[in-house]
Amino acid sequence: MEAWPDGRDAATESTNLMTAVEETPTSAGGSGELVPAGAAHDAAAAPGAHDTHTGVANAKLAMWLFLSSDCLFFGAFIATYLLYRGRDGQTGPKPADVYNIPFTSVTSFILLMSSLTMVLALAAVQRGDYRRFRVWLMATALFGATFIGGQIFEFTEFTRKGLNVDTNLFGSSFFILTGIHGTHVLVGIVWLISLWSLSMQSRLSQGDSERVEIAGLYWHFVDIVWIVIFTVIYLLPK
């Protein structure tokens, strides 16, 4: 009979392990009771259940994987901006000619504070306070919309000063980077409003808080990407 280095019998431990896997605890209803593996799958289909094959929620794991890859996506555009920044021989406006730091600081601050309202919305839904959840969620969407409004104003001003996406390398890399970030924010706003609508129809309960948390992860990611963009693109010495 094969034995492990610590003296335990391999066959017995293997049986114990299989039993442990089959008795996967389900978080459905938060009871933590042990159920057979087949029943766990059935329970996962119930409202508020958290589907998992690895011990961590599948949807949450998928979102983190997406965010990890999105770091590389944004990294490519930030690197491109830095590469083309300050190249000699460019025609058209340069960063110092068009940036309005006080204005961008205000919109950046609004986006930063939207992360606070987002976590407050999550905390509210997790304790079953749906009224506050909707208030904080709508505040987050409105902050995001304000940020987008500021970005549209900024783009319009830049265009008026002669900087377009095809004016020079600075214009191309700037508009592509901030435009893609703005698109991410827009997607986030649509996502938040859809969650708000579901809540208004009483189709989002305390047990569905994981859906709000995943939307929140996306929203916070958009925020931290802007933290990097704001510093690297706007604030670093030109």
Task: Rule CB under 8 A: say whether 95 interacts with another protein.
Answer: no
Q: State how far the Cα of 115 lies from the Cα of 222, in Å rounded to an integer.
A: 9
Task: Rule CB under 8 A: say whether 151 interacts with another protein.
Answer: no
Q: Which positions from 171 to 210 touch another protein by CB under 8 A, shown as an x/- string?
A: --------------------------------------xx
Tally of helices (H runs) and strands (E runs) in the chain: 8, 0
Residue number with CB closer to another protein (102 or 160): 102
Q: How far is the CB of 147 from another protein (least distance, A)?
A: 14
- CA-nearest of 127, 120, 144 to 193 is 144
Task: Rule CB under 8 A: say whether 232 interacts with another protein.
Answer: yes
Whose structure tokens read 């009483």? 202
- Contacts of another protein in 34-53 (CB under 8 A): 50, 52-53
Residue number with CB closer to another protein (140 or 151): 140
What lies within 8 Å, CB to CB, of 25 at 6+ separation is 32, 33, 34, 35
CA distances from 99 to 8, 115, 160 (A): 68, 25, 13
Cα 151–Cα 152–Cα 154 angle in degrees, nearest 5: 60
The percent helix, strand, coil of the chain (3-state, each to 5) is 75, 0, 25
- Contacts of another protein in 103-142 (CB under 8 A): 105, 108-109, 112-113, 115-116, 118-120, 122-123, 126
- Contacting residues toward another protein, per CB under 8 A: 4, 6, 8, 13-14, 17, 20-21, 23-25, 27, 30, 32, 50, 52-57, 60-61, 64-65, 67-72, 74-76, 78-79, 82-83, 87, 101, 105, 108-109, 112-113, 115-116, 118-120, 122-123, 126, 209-210, 213, 216-217, 220-221, 223-224, 227-228, 231-232, 234-237
